[in-house]
Chain A
Amino acid sequence: MQGKCGLFFTSYQGEARIFQSGFQKIMIGLLVAGLLAAPFGLGSYLVSIMNLIFIAVIGAVSLNLLTGVCGQISLGHGAFIGVGAFAAGQCTLHGVPFPLAILTGGLITAMVGMVFGVPSLRLKGIYLAIATLAAQLVLEYTFLHGGELTGGSNGLLLNPPEILGFAFDSETRMYYLLFVFACLSLLMVSNIMRSKYGRAFVSIRDFYLSAEIVGVNLFWYKIIAFGVSSFLAGVAGGLWGHYTGYISGEQFNIGLSITYLAMVVIGGLGSVIGSVFGAVFLTLLPEVLNVLANGLSGWFPAINQVVGAIQHGVFGLVLILFLIYEPEGLAHRWRLIKAYWKLYPFAH
């Protein structure tokens, strides 16, 4: 394991810690403190962007666990997020307390994900991608024809989350709620990656035959990967539904699945921090384009009206450039930046 100079481990537990050095802990502490204080300095628009980022982080890290860590490609992640949204939404509509509703939404999504994960034993790569695409289509159909359960073509109207009588009915309140869920999700995935399960997932991703030879039960671990990933996707969906207050099948289409896959690829496959980078990057991309367009609107008055079209183009271009020049994603770049400062001023 790559450690810092002067950092020694005297136990395996020490080596497996998430935060290994005091410096790391201080930096993380400062980051968390900064994020907790952020809503006081940001306008409500920027807080709302942060809220979208937190939800995207949960969705991205869940897909990264499945695709990046375990190597099981999924084109149905958007639909799994939708399952969580509808399941959690139905729970709160029937009077289930919000935390329990989110948990139930996650568990129902986990079950659905595990069902659609069954073909993963036989299918790999592009074949599994098509199988999960089928899951996406089946679930989209279910959302539209789910009757009272999904509201059919009308969708479902949801109330803001409420915990012990405290309503999260403003952007700032939602910020703290989503921040907690995002942190918990990141911790959960980080811990899974350090565990026996995480190592089994990586071994399956790297070479399934070797994994099986050393005693990894492929079917069990693949199903578990689908289950845990879908659980977190369900949590993200439940939070999204209660954040926007309205859910319909149209929101959880193939485009959403592709966006999450792009987040994982751009952020860095198999990396927790990469999921965060990918989520931040792709959520901010349209916002930055809008800011640029507004800045340029003095010279090009009609530019605001084509930002959406430009956004599609830029999205595609960014994805291609990353695949060619930075296939390991932003996480790799982050590692290089850290290495640069660690070695500074002696680069070699």
Chain B
Amino acid sequence: MRVGKIITAACTMLLAGLMLFGCGGEEQKSAETKKADTTPIQVGGLVDMSGPTSSVGVPYAQGLKAGVQYVNANGGIDGRMIEFNLQDTAYNVQQGLSLYKKMVNAGAVCIQGYGSAVTEALVRNLAKDKVPDLSASYSAHLTDPKTAPYNFFVAADYSTQARAAIKYFKDNWTEARAPKIAFIYPDHPYGLAPIKGAKAYAEELGFEIVGDANVSLKAIDATTELLPLKDLAPDFCWIGGTTPSTSVILKSAKNIGMETTFFTNIWGSDENLPKLAGEDANGAFSNQAAAVYGQDVPGMKAIMELTNNEPQMTHFTRGFVSVLVMTEGLKRAAAKGGITGESLKDALETLRDFDPMGLAPAISYFPDDHRPNMAVFLYTIKDGKLTFVKEQILERRADWLGH
């Protein structure tokens, strides 16, 4: 009975709390801030820090925080500081949606987003509220302003990344026969996103597409899926997974003696891959959109100072770059008259070859094309380390927009 009373008391407190919470009345509604205002600029952060993709979400979020710290330490936006409200979405759409509403009500002029599920669920809300979202969900369909006018990101989309790697391999192909390519990906929206575009481009360049394999993001072995591919003897294999699933694929491939050049997309390789796959990771290529820790680029000094020379993952750098790009947009918006979500969007669309201190390929957005660039950093794993190979740049083809 005592427990019953405790439950009754808890329910009453919940109800009372809700009523008090509700009595707060109308919250600050406008996302606008006045010119020459010295109040902080509100920016929301919606990152999965405890859900299924938190292993990369956490370093990404730390990169965002470091970026804000860096900008504020260097005078903010004309003396106005960025107030960053970072929250955990746990990769849950409902949670993301309600946190987003709260942030917009509190006056956020921009969101630093992360996961596909939440980013995509917010597309219509962002357009309605006129709040830009710089997220880490790089699906190509988010680059078309006709369907996602307030969505931006700082890395080439998944399809462009795959195309860039395919172009690199074709340019370096020396044999007389057509190169053979296969695709390994999870049966998941993220895994499927670039496949159609990548295959079409591979065919266009004269590759022979020999097969596909589905390997789950949660796979602990991929031998069954890879054996049929081994018989088809592809020269190149695209892996569209995450670091753990990539390591499983690389290890299984080694076990069955599969001879091929693997290349992975942006979430498929990072500093953890050599730790997970050991020597089996050597020789694999990966697409990256940001420099690795310690790389000789101008912006790395700032990151190393902020992190006390404590090595960080490449996802950290990408989060940092996302804040630099947002800051440039905010500065341009402020110079034009005032910071609102709408003016930030307009300002971002004026970026032309903006250099985020060498930490990522130069970024441009256009009013009718939100692809940040057509460039990808290609790395290969040598002796357990991500080693820079080339910045592969593609032409900005109109027919690739959104695909």
Contacts and interface: CB of A to CB of B under 8 A. Distances in A.
B117 A157 contact: no
B307 to A, nearest CB: 17
Interface stretch (B84-92, B291-299, B331-339, B370-378): B84-92
A308 B128 contact: no
B121 A244 contact: yes
B390 interface: no
B52 to A, nearest CB: 10
A108 B121 CA distance: 24
Interface string B120-143: 111111001000000000010100
Interface stretch (B22-30, B198-206, B219-227, B271-279): B22-30
Contacts, number: 143
A337 B97 CA distance: 34
- What size tier do the contact residues of chain B reach? 35 or more
Given A41-B25, A306-B49, A52 B98 contact: yes
A45 B11 contact: no
B189 A144 contact: yes
B103 to A, nearest CB: 9
B192 A309 contact: no
Contact of A309 (B26, B88, B101, B141): B88
Interface string B18-59: 100110111101000000000000000000111100000000
Contacts of A45: 27, 98, 101-102, 105
Interface residues of A, number: 51
Contact of A306 (B4, B18, B88, B121): B88
B79 interface: no
Of B8, B94, B95, B147, most buried by chain A (CB within 10 Å of CB) is B94
A42 interface: yes
Contact of B14 (A48, A288, A312, A321): A288
B198 to A, nearest CB: 13
B256 interface: no
Interface in A90-146: 141, 144
A154 B124 contact: no
B116 interface: yes
B101 A304 contact: no
B250 interface: no
A290 B95 CA distance: 10
Interface stretch (A24-32, A183-191, A325-333): A325-333
Contacts of A144: 187-189, 192
B93 interface: yes
Nearest to A247: B121
B193 interface: yes
B24 A286 contact: no
B92 to A, nearest CB: 7
A311 B87 CA distance: 13
Given A308-B48, A330-B11, A44 B27 contact: yes
A336 B50 contact: no
Given A246-B123, A250-B117, A48 B51 contact: no
A304 B3 contact: no
Nearest to B29: A44
B344 interface: no
Contacts of A210: none
Nearest to A171: B101
A314 to B, nearest CB: 12
A42 B4 contact: no
Contact of A43 (B4, B27, B51, B191): B27
B116 A326 contact: no
A297 B99 CA distance: 16
Contact of A326 (B4, B21, B50, B94): B4
Contacts of B90: 308-309, 311-312
Contacts of A309: 49-50, 88, 90
A246 B124 contact: yes
B139 A308 contact: no
Interface of B: 3-4, 7-8, 11, 14, 17-18, 21-22, 24-27, 29, 48-51, 61, 85-90, 92-95, 97-99, 101-102, 105, 116-117, 120-125, 128, 139, 141, 147, 187-193
11 contacts: A43-B27, A45-B102, A48-B101, A52-B94, A144-B189, A153-B189, A245-B124, A246-B121, A251-B117, A304-B87, A336-B8
Given A248-B117, A290-B87, 5 more contacts: A41-B22, A153-B189, A290-B99, A311-B95, A337-B8
